[in-house]
Amino acid sequence: MSQSYDVIVIGGGPGGYVAAIRCAQLGMKTACIEKWQDDRGKTVLGGTCLNVGCIPSKALLDSSHQFENITRHAKEHGIVVESARIDVGQMLKRKDKIVKILTTGIAGLFKKHRITLLEGTGSLVSNRQVTITASDGSVQHVSAKSIIIATGSVPAILPQAPVDHERIVDSTGALAFTEVPEKLGVIGAGVIGLELGSVWRRLGSEVTVIEALETFMPAADQEIAEAARKELIRQGLHIQLGAKMTRCETRGGKVRIHYEQDGEKHDLEVDKLIVAIGRKPNTAGLRAEVVGLKIDDRGFIETDGQCRTHLENVYAIGDVTHGPMLAHKAMEEGVAVAELIDGQKPEFDHDNIPWVVYTWPEIAWAGKTEQQLRSEGREIRVGNFPFMANGRARAMNDTAGLVKMIGDAKTDELLGVHVFGPNASELISEAVLALSFESSTEDIARTIHAHPTLSEAMHEAALAVDGRMLHL
Ligand code: FAD
Ligand code: NAI
């Protein structure tokens, strides 16, 4: 007889494991199916985010940031470092240790909440039944009153640059280079290209980023994107916009990239090439077609905006369904879907999902851009405040960037906040909270911000909306 559960979650990434925890908290008998194995063949939870995404990339971003501070900026502080070199092996070991601690932590949370981990690939049999095929080929049948699909995403493939995991890699390979490539090419000036390009540039690579679009970071506010582009170029990143890659070949241990830009042909020889042109929803092995699950032409599972698929009792969350491919979006959907199954009426604010790019300075935003609002015909007021005029940023020697705040010209409702600056990833939470509470820019202007903090730049940008900043 097959085991039966209240809820089966397929996929144990941030969407799936959070959904499982919340279901268990609400008293549901919960199982989670996961197929990810570490290099020793042990099943690990955490999905892309913990194993090859958010966490390992931030571990390397932090190591390389510290290296750059020591090698380039220590002197300004009066710290004399005679010689500093990077031990890539140790840097990777630290990253792997962090991943292990966190993935083991999720396994511990599963035990705490009595969630059953089913190891293998989950495939749908019906809207209540799933089979699990383990790595040894054995098959198990389980059933549930509800099924949550959280199977995530995988890197998109570029036929002109097939990943060989040696010279041409995807983001996973770029987190594991065993030495600093002398010359590094990156296809795609998106989030991964900028973050991982920055990591290896800081460690000494000459990095060229080849981007097909003419516009840098089209999703970001263009004033902020332009400030970021200039600063990243100043730091040494070569960014080629409007560059169409035609082909590439690997020869003599090098990769030769051919691309066209402004009607001219170029080639570039690099030691490694990272392909980072986006990610695709992952429904491989799910046998969605067997149960007739609706999938759109880009591969996303279709949902009704509340994570319900068109099959009764079957839900989809995270990267495999519409919306930004972000871990915090997946997690919030995980919570919402568990509460929905429990009969509650959860709210999920899809309009106020923050975006962060963890370059240094960081880029972060929430709400709408000036370009979006103007194209909608909204009358707006904009307040900018540069970190140059912020005392704490001065004390930190981190004065590049600005905060930009946008409010409605008549009602003063806060409509968007865009930050390029130190710790923008942390600063943006205040904006998300204010947007969620439908605050005015005046609300932020009237809020006391501790001195001296970077958050005072948020305060000043809010004052600037009304033309009354105090320190500029
Ligand atoms: P995933 O994390 O992809 O998890 C899906 C899980 O399902 C996987 O463990 C997979 O093995 C399992 N699975 C798939 N199919 C089956 C099946 N049939 N049976 C059983 N198991 C299955 N986002 C951020 O918000 N911030 C960041 O800083 C950030 N950095 C990133 C850096 C990199 C390099 C990358 C690649 C991504 C980054 N992301 C970041 C994106 C983030 O990792 C994803 O948005 C997030 O992991 C999505 O969560 P998910 O649960 O939907 O899917
Ligand atoms: P992306 O969508 O952010 O960027 C891909 C870039 O590649 C785009 O600028 C696109 O125009 C360009 N491109 C596409 N095809 C190309 C081609 N043939 N030649 C040249 N350029 C081409 O995707 P990316 O960087 O791969 O990241 C995938 C997703 O992972 C992100 O969208 C994001 O959701 C998530 N992520 C989030 C992070 C964060 O929150 N800090 C960090 C890393 C990833």
**The domain that contains 110 carries what CATH number?**
3.50.50.60
Instruction: List per-block mean pLDDT (blocks of 10 residues) for the chain, which spans 472 residues.
Output: 92 98 98 96 98 98 98 95 95 98 98 98 97 97 98 97 97 98 98 98 98 98 98 98 96 96 97 98 94 96 95 98 98 98 93 97 98 98 98 98 98 98 98 98 98 98 98 96
Q: Counting Cβ atoms within 10 Å, is residue 320 exposed (0-12), middle (13-18) or buried (19+)?
A: buried
**Statement to judge: residues 7 and 137 lie in one domain:** yes
Distance (Å) from CA 395 to ligand 2 centroid: 34
**Statement to judge: residues 96 and 16 lie in one domain:** yes
The CB of 282 under 6 Å from ligand 1? The reply is: yes
**Statement to judge: residues 10 and 111 lie in one domain:** yes
Q: Is residue 472 in some structural domain?
A: no
**Statement to judge: residues 284 and 248 lie in one domain:** no
**Statement to judge: residues 196 and 76 lie in one domain:** no
Asked whether the beta carbons of 355 and 218 are under 8 A apart, the reply is no
Amino acid occupying residue 280:
K
Residue of 175, 268, 277, 426 to mutate, ligand 2, most atoms within 8 A of C-beta: 277
Tell the residue nearest (CA) to atom 28 of ligand 2: 278
Name the domain count of the chain.
3
**Statement to judge: residues 360 and 302 lie in one domain:** no
Q: Is residue 162 in some structural domain?
A: no
Degrees, nearest 5: CA angle 356-361-367: 35
Rounded to the nearest 5°, which phi and psi values hold at 18?
-70, -40
Amino acid occupying residue 72:
R
The CB of 118 under 6 Å from ligand 2? The reply is: no
Q: What are the structure tokens assigned to 247, written together?
A: 């082909």
The CB of 218 under 6 Å from ligand 2? The reply is: no
Tell the residue nearest (CA) to atom 34 of ligand 1: 53
Q: Is residue 163 in some structural domain?
A: no
**Statement to judge: residues 287 and 232 lie in one domain:** no
The CB of 324 under 6 Å from ligand 2? The reply is: yes
The CB of 54 under 6 Å from ligand 1? The reply is: yes
Q: Is residue 79 in some structural domain?
A: yes
Distance (Å) from CA 155 to ligand 2 centroid: 9
Cα-Cα-Cα-Cα dihedral sign, residues 182, 188, 189, 195? negative
**Statement to judge: residues 215 and 330 lie in one domain:** no
The CB of 211 under 6 Å from ligand 2? The reply is: yes
The DSSP call for residue 70 is: I
**Statement to judge: residues 375 and 386 lie in one domain:** yes
Rounded to the nearest 5°, which phi and psi values hold at 378?
-75, 140
Closest ligand 1 atom, CA of 44? 9
The CB of 328 under 6 Å from ligand 1? The reply is: yes
**The domain that contains 405 carries what CATH number?**
3.30.390.30
Ligand nearest to the CA of 11: 1
**Statement to judge: residues 310 and 373 lie in one domain:** no
Q: Is residue 161 in some structural domain?
A: no
Distance (Å) from CA 69 to ligand 2 centroid: 27
Tell the residue nearest (CA) to atom 41 of ligand 2: 357
Catalytic: which of 141, 165, 350, 451? 451
Q: Counting Cβ atoms within 10 Å, is residue 470 exposed (0-12), middle (13-18) or buried (19+)?
A: exposed
The CB of 170 under 6 Å from ligand 2? The reply is: no
- For residues 188 and 194, what is the distance between their CA atoms, to the nearest angstrom? 8
Respond yes or no: is residue 113 known to be catalytic: no
Distance (Å) from CA 380 to ligand 1 centroid: 37
In whole angstroms, how far apart are CA 255 and each of 175, 248, 260, 404? 19, 7, 16, 41
- Give the pLDDT of residue 1: 62
Q: Return the closest-CA partner of residue 353 out of 315, 324, 321.
A: 324
Containing domain of residue 269, as a range? Answer: 168-277
Q: Return the closest-CA partner of residue 249 out of 161, 165, 144.
A: 161
Distance (Å) from CA 355 to ligand 2 centroid: 13
Q: For 102, how many CA atoms within 13 A lie in the half-sphere containing its CB? A: 21
Q: Is residue 470 in some structural domain?
A: no
Tell the residue nearest (CA) to atom 9 of ligand 1: 47
The CB of 152 under 6 Å from ligand 1? The reply is: yes
For the chain, report the end-to-end CA distance as a whole number of angstroms: 73
- Give the pLDDT of residue 31: 98
CA 426 to chain centre: 15
What global pTM score does this model have?
Answer: 0.98
The CB of 193 under 6 Å from ligand 2? The reply is: yes
**Statement to judge: residues 263 and 322 lie in one domain:** no
**Statement to judge: residues 459 and 368 lie in one domain:** yes
Distance (Å) from CA 394 to ligand 1 centroid: 37
Distance (Å) from CA 326 to ligand 1 centroid: 8
